[in-house]
Amino acid sequence: MGNSAANAANALCTSDPVNSVSLALPSSSSSAFMIVPRYKVTVSAGVVRVGAFILGWPAKISAVDTPVGQLMNIVVDCPDADISARFWAAVLGWERVQENADFVDIADASDGRRRLVFQQIADYRPPGWPDQGPPQQLHLDVRVDDLEIAEQRVRALGAVPLAERVVLEDESYRVYADPAGHPFCLVQLETT
């Protein structure tokens, strides 16, 4: 970020020198940062200073030869971990593998490696769809052989349709909410 960009950002921000932090950038860095109005931004000798928080990310993330790790779990917030785990175990044909007071894990019975973890949250607010208030953050797409039959089954388990069926060239899908209000899609691939 050049000095002119920092000056433009500062025109929109107010100074807060007490709560400032520094980030040293490599000389070859071409990083971009999102600026939160209300904090002063300065750039000097490759150091970007942003009051209180540095909010941003590299503009370009390069591929790595060796992955950092492997996906272990997808954790989903919900008001009742037991109800969510029972719903998704029935939808996916998975089994309950671990639980404690606030978490229930389900896993693919064939290998136990693919897992969904349901985390019970006291003041849980379901995501909005399609209005995104609060935003859904992520959703699951579940591939099915027959959308009509799958719909009957998930509705019997407590799912609620959120939209009409969408038909595309290579797939059809419909959006539902699980018992905790998380949007998910049933997707049927079109065979030719």
Q: Give me the pLDDT at residue 128, please.
A: 82
> For the ranges 62-66, 80-84, 98-102, 113-117, which has the lowest average pLDDT?
62-66
Where in the chain are all domains bearing CATH 3.10.180.10?
138-192
139-174: per-residue pLDDT in tens? Answer: 888 989 999 999 999 999 999 999 999 998 888 999
- Location of each CATH 3.30.720.120 domain in the chain: 64-124
HSE of 155, CA atoms in CB hemisphere, 13 A: 11
104-143 pLDDT, tens digit per residue, is 999 998 987 888 999 999 999 888 888 878 887 778 889 8
Helix then strand then coil, in percent of the chain rounded to 5, is: 20, 30, 50
Name residues whose C-beta falls within 8 Å of residue 87's C-beta, 6 or more positions apart in sequence: 157, 158, 159, 178, 179
Whether omega before 130 lies within 30 degrees of 0, making that bond cis, reads: yes
CA dist., res. 58 & res. 120, Å (int): 33
Lowest mean pLDDT among 49-53, 81-85, 150-154, 162-166: 49-53
Question: Which CATH superfamily is 138-192 part of?
Answer: 2,3-Dihydroxybiphenyl 1,2-Dioxygenase, domain 1 (3.10.180.10)
3-state secondary structure (DSSP) of residue 80: coil
CATH of domain 64-124: 3.30.720.120
